[in-house]
């Protein structure tokens, strides 16, 4: 079976000191069906804009995104993803499951099991799911452009918006059978709290300025029902009930991350630090790195100094 070509876009905050990036590039090189090109968009603080810019450079039928801390150990991952997309045109966004790797620490395993949406087992058949996320997703390039791509206004929480755009276009969002990647959380209690506090700030920013973009999340498999919105009262009540449930069930990490997340939401709603306008781009320089079995382009983004967020 002859497969259509695909390209990968990876938004990267910084290439220096990134412990995952070379492993990602090596894993892509070892794929049984390798990408035609990989675009690293380095330095843009708005993930959506970075991905949109990367896709502008793509000439292939399919595009995929990978986070710069994704782990890939299946050499047939993209062969499976592209085959599934080719076989079923109703799928507008395909992605991989997110199980717990054997090399995860005991702390990481405990946290992943306690905290919702961090774990999703490998599936035996294609299943429509909210677990399709930026750490590993594939879309037809034409569809991505038709729905105006990623949201460039949000700081975090882009996944639900992109999924909803795909569904509004009449396409399915699907975890592909027998696929997986790993997306580990920090191996430190303090770093974990910082991550959820930061995520809460991103949610607080969205709630303050773009409440219409606060969309519902599910664990991925609730009778194929994906509710788009919940009221603010419902979300607040649910968060209190979940906190109480975590205490009763002695899920200390879930309780702690919920508190950190809520603190981030309140902080950004009451005393915002993030600027509403995205940081302006001064220039983007492109360079090609050799010695890879695909074309590897690095797009260095230089932001204007006056923007700090």
Is residue 73 within 8 A of residue 182, CB to CB? The reply is yes
Lowest mean pLDDT among 33-47, 92-106, 214-228: 214-228
pLDDT band with cut points at 50, 70 and 90 for residue 276:
confident
pLDDT attached to residue 183: 95
**Locus of tokens 């001064």:** 282
- pLDDT beyond 90 at 128: yes
- pLDDT beyond 60 at 105: yes
| Gap between the terminal Cα atoms of the chain | 47
- pLDDT beyond 90 at 220: no
Taking only the tens place, the pLDDT of each residue in 29-84 is 999 999 999 999 999 989 999 999 999 999 999 999 999 999 999 999 999 999 99
pLDDT band with cut points at 50, 70 and 90 for residue 226:
low
pLDDT attached to residue 209: 92
Q: What integer is the mean pLDDT of 117-134? A: 93
Directed axis angle between helix 252-270 and helix 189-209, to 10°? 40
The larger pLDDT score, comparing residue 279 to residue 284, is at 284
Give me the chain's average pLDDT, please.
90
Q: Which residues contact 305 (CB under 8 A, 6 or more apart)?
A: none
The larger pLDDT score, comparing residue 33 to residue 226, is at 33
- pLDDT beyond 70 at 140: yes
pLDDT band with cut points at 50, 70 and 90 for residue 227:
low
Is residue 9 within 8 A of residue 298, CB to CB? The reply is no
Whole-number CA gyration radius for the chain = 19
Q: Strands 62-65 and 137-140: what pairing?
A: antiparallel
Distance between CA 145 and CA 276 in Å, rounded? Answer: 24
For residue 94, give the nearest of 55, 57, 123, 52 by alpha carbon: 123
pLDDT attached to residue 60: 97
For residue 192, give the nearest of 257, 254, 106, 110 by alpha carbon: 257
Would you call 194 exposed, middle or buried from its count of C-beta atoms within 10 A (0-12, 13-18, 19+)?
middle
- Calculate the dihedral angle through the C-alpha atoms of 138, 139, 140, 142, rounding to the nearest 10 degrees: -140
- Tell me the sheet residues that pair with 29: none
Q: Which two tokens stand for residue 163?
A: 């999924």
């Amino acid at each position: 079976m002859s497969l259509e070509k695909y390209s990968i876009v990876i938004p990267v905050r910084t290439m220096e000191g990134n412990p995952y990036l070379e492993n990602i590039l090596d894993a892509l090189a070892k794929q049984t069906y390798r990408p035609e090109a990989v675009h690293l968009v380095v330095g843009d603080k708005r993930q959506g804009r970075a991905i949109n810019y990367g896709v502008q450079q793509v000439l292939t039928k399919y595009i995929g995104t990978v986070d710069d801390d994704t782990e890939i150990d299946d050499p047939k991952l993209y062969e499976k993803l592209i085959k599934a997309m080719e076989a079923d045109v109703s799928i507008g966004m395909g992605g991989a499951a997110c199980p717990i790797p054997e090399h995860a620490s005991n702390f990481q395993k405990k946290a992943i099991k306690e905290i919702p949406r961090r774990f999703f087992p490998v599936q035996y058949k294609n299943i429509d799911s909210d677990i399709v996320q930026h750490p590993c997703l594939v879309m037809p390039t034409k569809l991505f452009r038709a729905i105006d791509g990623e949201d460039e206004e949000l700081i975090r929480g882009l996944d639900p918006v992109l999924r909803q755009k795909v569904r509004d276009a009449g396409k399915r969002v699907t975890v592909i059978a027998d696929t997986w990647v790993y997306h580990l959380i920090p191996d430190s209690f303090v770093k974990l709290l910082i991550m959820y506090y930061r995520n809460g700030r991103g949610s607080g920013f969205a709630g303050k300025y773009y409440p219409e973009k606060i969309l519902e999340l599910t664990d991925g498999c609730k009778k194929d029902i994906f509710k788009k919105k919940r009221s603010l009262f419902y979300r607040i009540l649910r968060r209190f009930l979940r906190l109480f449930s975590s205490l009763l069930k002695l899920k200390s990490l879930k309780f702690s991350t919920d508190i950190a997340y809520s603190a981030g939401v309140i902080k950004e709603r009451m005393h915002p630090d993030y600027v509403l306008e995205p940081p302006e781009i001064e220039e983007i320089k492109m360079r090609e790195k050799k010695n890879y079995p695909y074309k590897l382009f690095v797009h260095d983004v230089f932001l204007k100094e006056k923007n700090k967020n």
